[in-house]
Amino acid sequence: MPLIVHSQPPLPRRVTIIGVGLIGGSFALAMRRAVPDICVTGVDRDEINLATARHLGVLDQVVQDVASAVAEAELVLLAVPVRQLAAVLSQVWATLPAGAVVTDVGSTKASVWQAAQATMGASLARFVPGHPIAGAEQSGVRAARADLFQGCSVVLTPTSVCDEQARGVVQQCWEACGAKVELMSVQRHDAIFGVVSHLPHLLSFALVYDIATRVDAASFFRFAAGGFRDFTRIAASNPEMWRDISLANRTVLLSEIERYREQLDLLTELLQQEDESGLESFFKVARQARRNWNDTQ
Amino acid sequence: MPLIVHSQPPLPRRVTIIGVGLIGGSFALAMRRAVPDICVTGVDRDEINLATARHLGVLDQVVQDVASAVAEAELVLLAVPVRQLAAVLSQVWATLPAGAVVTDVGSTKASVWQAAQATMGASLARFVPGHPIAGAEQSGVRAARADLFQGCSVVLTPTSVCDEQARGVVQQCWEACGAKVELMSVQRHDAIFGVVSHLPHLLSFALVYDIATRVDAASFFRFAAGGFRDFTRIAASNPEMWRDISLANRTVLLSEIERYREQLDLLTELLQQEDESGLESFFKVARQARRNWNDTQ
């Protein structure tokens, strides 16, 4: 009796990347490893970046406009800032070939999905929102690496209108890049990343802002040391990017700031009452949870 | 005409260290480099730690009790947790030789000064409160290094009753260890470190506590990545130590938490009003200040 093998469809061979930075460039390099005869087309507003990407062998061809870049694509990866996504999506769908699949890499997903609903028309079923949990100190295509996604998680948030095959193609590509794919709803994604990523960024910005706006800021910064360094590393993040993420996920952030305030209320109460065991157990819970988390990394 | 040289008094040759951990042990090693014929005596509640210190050549002799350890000292360094300081100080003064100088390494200074006032009697003038801004991932005498204080700041907070010569001896010792000495008032010290060190620790503990106490904590921690790692590294700090620091500096912390809340109020308002330029400039101020700080490190 013949063995029935459920073989996966082949990986796409014509890939278009819109926004060829760290993430877009690394995706191109990783896909090249997986698909030797791939043809990767790139679009980017920054011509120098685009020329560099070509020079580094990240791209096979560069195209000036989105419409012609996607005209022959099997897979389109949108790796532009969240804020530009709506504008780019509205250009993509007009020339998108039937059957081509579109995905993105934005840090927030509800806003992306809204933009897709508003612009993609009949192509909407072939848009699979995604978010690779990867990054690096550097940005730009020069920092791109074929192994950036090795062992990383990539969250996909397909909705009920999403074509199952389209989801499969995107998942297969990320797995070919070495990533573990996790599926969740758009809302769940934004709730989780609002807490573990967006909120700490705001809290870190807030501490540095708090110190920086004092009359005698310099005498504070002068004595800041290792703990401050770690806590505020993310306060050096890109302000435009975090403005966009904050606004895109503002509903979650507003409720999470409120919830965080309640922890500050509790700490305030413990301090006011000089509650030794209360403070110690608060810190112990946090330390144990942080250590447990560390052990899983 | 003879040249008049204002020579400094020689560094102390009989040094007693109470609490031979990372800081106490590193001070001993650094002083050994500076004073070849030094005799370092150590006291510690942990006998294994004490034997290790002896074995590693950190100490010349170990003594079981504080009273005999200080009986022949020229300099006594108290490197015990802030909370134990009052008890240790009350043992120190009884057998302290006339002219011997005492200093400490506690992270808060008002509470230490109060304890000294309450216990040291006539020896109070020879107590010079201090705080080396140094630390490391590890603790305990095994982590001690002769160069731990090289280039570090050490804050001394001598008060008006403080003997000028005693202050000079302590300053000279820290400088011999490679540190830069800064003088400031007790109140100023606690105000500054409340902001740049104690507050970020509480904020970091609070975020991890916030996540850890959710029903679905695991699904949040699962997606935490680099930003979370940096922000929460200090939430793995010692709970007993931070309970003590928080209580010792509670007045400053209560007002700083209040002030930090005002930054959260501002962020909340900017998010509610979807104030793009307001958010961007908030983040820009923080990023610029964080970068400027980084450049000075």
Q: How far is A265 from chain B (nearest CA, A)?
A: 9
Q: What is the pLDDT of residue B8?
A: 72
Instruction: Give residues with Cβ within 8 angstroms of B234, minimum separation 6.
Output: A227, A230, A231, B200, B201, B204, B205
Whether B208 contacts B232, CB under 8 Å: yes
| Tokens (6 digits) for A282 | 């608060």
Q: What is the pLDDT of residue B96?
A: 94
Residues of chain A found within 8 Å of residue B219, distances taken between Cβ atoms: 192
Q: Residue A50 — very low, low, confident or very high, per pLDDT cuts 50/70/90?
A: very high
Q: What is the pLDDT of residue A116?
A: 94
Query: How much of chain B, in percent, has pLDDT values that exceed 70?
Result: 97
Q: How many CB atoms lie within 10 A of CB A41?
A: 23
Residues of chain A found within 8 Å of residue B207, distances taken between Cβ atoms: 199-200, 203, 260, 263
Asked whether residue B160 carries a pLDDT value surpassing 80, the answer given is: yes
Q: What is the pLDDT of residue A5?
A: 56
Range(s) for CATH 1.10.3660.10 in chain A?
Answer: 188-296
Nearest to A287 among B230, B236, B259 (CB): B236
Express each pLDDT in B33-59 by its tens digit.
999 999 999 999 999 999 999 999 999
Residues of chain A found within 8 Å of residue B211, distances taken between Cβ atoms: 195-196, 289
Q: Which of these ranges, A139-143, A195-199, B212-216, has the smallest mean pLDDT? A: A139-143
Give chain B's radius of gyration (CA, Å).
22
Express each pLDDT in A110-126 by its tens digit.
999 999 999 988 889 99
CB contact under 8 A, A231 and B200: yes
Look-up of token digits 């074929």: A146
Give mean pLDDT, residues A226-245. Answer: 93
* Best of A181, A190, A192, A207 to mutate (most B CBs within 10 Å, chain B): A207
Of B232, B227, B229, nearest to B207 by C-alpha is B232
Q: Residue B122 — very low, low, confident or very high, per pLDDT cuts 50/70/90?
A: confident
* Best of A137, A287, A297 to mutate (most B CBs within 10 Å, chain B): A287
Q: What is the pLDDT of residue A4?
A: 58
HEC per residue, A71-132: CCCCEEEECCCHHHHHHHHHHHHHHCCCCCEEEECCCCCHHHHHHHHHHCHHHHHHEECEEE
Asked whether residue A99 carries a pLDDT value surpassing 80, the answer given is: yes
Q: Which of B:37-56 have CB within 8 Å of A?
A: none
Asked whether residue B238 carries a pLDDT value surpassing 70, the answer given is: yes
Q: How far apart are CA A205 and CA B163, in angstroms?
A: 43
Whether B96 contacts B122, CB under 8 Å: no
Asked whether residue B138 carries a pLDDT value surpassing 90, the answer given is: no
Look-up of token digits 């989801």: A167
Q: Residue A134 — very low, low, confident or very high, per pLDDT cuts 50/70/90?
A: confident
Q: What is the pLDDT of residue B23?
A: 95
Of A190, A211, A164, nearest to A255 by C-alpha is A190
Residues of chain A found within 8 Å of residue B201, distances taken between Cβ atoms: 227
Of A292, A108, A105, nearest to A201 by C-alpha is A108
Q: Which residue of B has its CA nearest to A199?
A: B207
Give, in degrees to the nearest 5, the angle at Cα B37 between B35 and B39: 95
Distance of CA B12 to the CA centre of its chain: 22
Q: ipTM score here?
A: 0.90
Nearest to B232 among A202, A229, A290 (CB): A290
Give mean pLDDT, residues B2-26. Answer: 85
Q: How far is A296 from chain B (nearest CA, A)?
A: 9
Range(s) for CATH 3.40.50.720 in chain B?
Answer: 14-184
Of B281, B138, B253, B293, nearest to A233 by C-alpha is B293
Asked whether residue B5 carries a pLDDT value surpassing 80, the answer given is: no
Q: Residue A7 — very low, low, confident or very high, per pLDDT cuts 50/70/90?
A: low
Residues of chain B found within 8 Å of residue A254, distances taken between Cβ atoms: 268, 271-272
CB contact under 8 A, B282 and A205: yes
Q: How far is A37 from chain B (nearest CA, A)?
A: 34
Q: Which of B:224-283 have CB within 8 Å of A?
A: 224-240, 242-243, 246-247, 250, 253-254, 257-261, 263-264, 267-268, 271-272, 274, 276, 279-283
Identify the residue with better confidence: A195 or A9.
Answer: A195
Going from the C-alpha of B295 to that of each of A221, B289, B292, the distances in angstroms are 11, 10, 5
Give mean pLDDT, residues B165-180. Answer: 97
Instruction: Give residues with Cβ within 8 angstroms of B289, minimum separation 6.
Output: A208, A209, A211, A212, A217, A221
Q: Which of B:112-141 have CB within 8 Å of A?
A: 133, 135
Q: What is the pLDDT of residue A213?
A: 97
Domain spanning B14-184, CATH class: alpha beta
Q: Residue B139 — very low, low, confident or very high, per pLDDT cuts 50/70/90?
A: confident
Asked whether residue A11 carries a pLDDT value surpassing 80, the answer given is: yes
Which CATH number does the domain B188-296 belong to among 1.10.3660.10, 3.40.50.740, 2.120.10.10, 1.20.1050.10? 1.10.3660.10
Asked whether residue A6 carries a pLDDT value surpassing 70, the answer given is: no
CB contact under 8 A, A221 and B247: no
A218 touches B: beta carbon within 8 Å: no
Q: Which of these ranges, A128-132, A193-197, A202-206, B136-140, has the smallest mean pLDDT? A: B136-140
Q: pTM to 2 decimals?
A: 0.90
* Best of A196, A266, A272, A296 to mutate (most B CBs within 10 Å, chain B): A196
* Best of B243, B258, B261, B272 to mutate (most A CBs within 10 Å, chain A): B243
The region, left, alpha or beta by phi > 0 then psi within -120 to 50, assigned to residue A19 is left
CB contact under 8 A, B247 and A274: yes
Q: How far apart are CA A31 and CA A47, in angstroms?
A: 23
